[in-house]
Amino acid sequence: MTSHASAEPAPVALRAPAFILVRPQLGENIGAAARAMVNFGLDDLRIVAPRDGWPNERAIAAASRAFDFITPRIFPTLDEAMADLALVYATTGRRREFVKEVLGPRTAISRLEDASRSGIAAGILFGPERAGLETDEIASCQALLTLPVNPEFPSLNLGQIVVILTYEWAQARGRFSLGDVAFPQILASHAELAGLFDHLEAELNESGFFHPPEKTPAMIRNIRASLARPGFTEQEVRTWRGIIKALAHGRGRKNS
């Protein structure tokens, strides 16, 4: 928003999709899911009938304090866990018996995010580790979500699937973006680099480096290209000028 734009209402805090673990077996996977969710800014974790009850010591250990940030809601049945949701995708392997769209993670998350922006409550189901979701559970979802993995080794565990989807969601929403910064403010200017080139060329000329004379322009061009490439900072330019001075006039030269 530009500074002269008229005041607009602050954006509504959009809900993140609910992640629903259905009858999870291993506390480690519940903890890993919670850890991934908090890392990527999701907060709606729901657990249907966890095999080992709740709370679960192994889940807490694997969560690495993620449960300080989110409190999972425990439901006896999947119908109760997804009662408020209008758009739900079911994670599955490459099954083909359903007449539903099979979406990859990027497409699926993009659609869930579009839905969230329209005020639609969305969620993703994750089945139990060994058996996966039951047919009836999948049938009640709007689409299937499948990770595109090696067909010879389709072996992601529940925690790995959750971390990929939480990551994709943070990317889709633009959360915690780094902006791929290149520190332009401290890169040396062209004038500083030109001063470095001039200094180096003068010393090399003095030392008889440029030989034969007809090749000098190409040699200079190559050196300039080489020094331009790294994206030197101001400090590095100063360092390299010190290096040139030392090589040309320093102790090593005096003793030779």
- The contact set with its own copies (CB under 8 A) reads 32, 35-36, 38-41, 64-66, 69, 94, 99, 101-107, 146-157, 159-160, 163-164, 167, 170-171, 175-178, 180-183, 186, 233, 235-236
List, in sequence order, every residue forming a beta bridge with 90; answer none if it has no partner. 125, 144
Q: Which amino acid is it at 5? A: A
Going through 14-56 in order, the beta strands assigned E by DSSP cover 18-22, 45-48
Q: Rounded to the nearest whole angstrom, what is the least distance from the CB of residue 102 to its own copies in the complex?
A: 5
Q: Rounded to the nearest whole angstrom, what is the least distance from the CB of residue 170 to its own copies in the complex?
A: 6
Of 106 and 253, nearer to its own copies (C-beta) is: 106
Buried b (16+ CB within 10 A) or exposed e, 57-67: eebbebbeebb
Of 10 and 178, nearer to its own copies (C-beta) is: 178
Of 25 and 64, nearer to its own copies (C-beta) is: 64
Of 167 and 240, nearer to its own copies (C-beta) is: 167
**What is d(CA 192, CA 110) in angstroms, rounded to the nearest whole number?**
46
Q: Rounded to the nearest whole angstrom, what is the least distance from the CB of residue 196 to its own copies in the complex?
A: 16
Q: Rounded to the nearest whole angstrom, what is the least distance from the CB of residue 90 to its own copies in the complex?
A: 14
**What is d(CA 126, CA 76) in angstroms, rounded to the nearest whole number?**
15
218: which residues sit within 8 A by CB, 6+ positions away?
none
